[in-house]
Each structure stands twice: as structure tokens, then as C-alpha cells.
């Protein structure tokens, strides 16, 4: 998976910035930091992110 390759690059000391449209929950679970934008404005920022469990997803 591409995200796993990017994590290896990060482990070597490089910074990786990625733009992804509608990622799966599996992909989101692999990320360390998320920034969500809407119309050019930051609407969510997290240095530590946890994936929603299935119960939380069904409620949203």
C-alpha cells in the first residue's frame, strides 16, 4: 500500500504531505496527522487521530 511506503520515508526523517480525496477508514487509520479543509479553510486539525469504531460511524 502506498501509505505504508510513505510511512517508511517518514521513518527515515523526511516529511511527507499527502492530499487524498475520500480515504477509506483503513487509510485514515494509517495516518499520524490529519488536516481537513473546506473551501480553503481548516475545519479539523489533529496531531493524533484515532479511527472511529463501527458504532461511531453508524451514528454519524
Residues 6+ apart with CB under 8 A from 1: 27, 30
How confident is the prediction along the chain (60 residues), in pLDDT tens digits per residue? 888 899 899 999 998 888 988 889 888 888 888 888 899 998 888 865 455 554 455 555
Tell if the pTM clears 0.75, that is, is over it: no
Exposed, middle or buried: residue 41 (CB in 10 Å: 0-12, 13-18, 19+)?
exposed
Residue 14: the pLDDT is: 92
Return the domain boundaries, the chain: 2-59
What's the confidence (pLDDT) of residue 5?
A: 92
Amino acid at each position: 500500500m502506498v501509505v505504508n511506503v510513505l510511512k517508511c520515508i517518514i521513518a527515515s526523517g523526511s516529511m511527507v504531505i499527502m492530499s487524498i480525496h475520500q480515504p477509506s477508514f483503513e487509510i485514515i487509520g494509517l495516518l499520524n496527522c490529519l488536516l481537513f479543509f473546506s473551501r480553503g479553510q481548516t475545519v479539523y486539525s489533529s496531531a493524533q487521530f484515532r479511527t472511529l469504531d463501527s458504532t461511531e460511524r453508524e451514528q454519524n
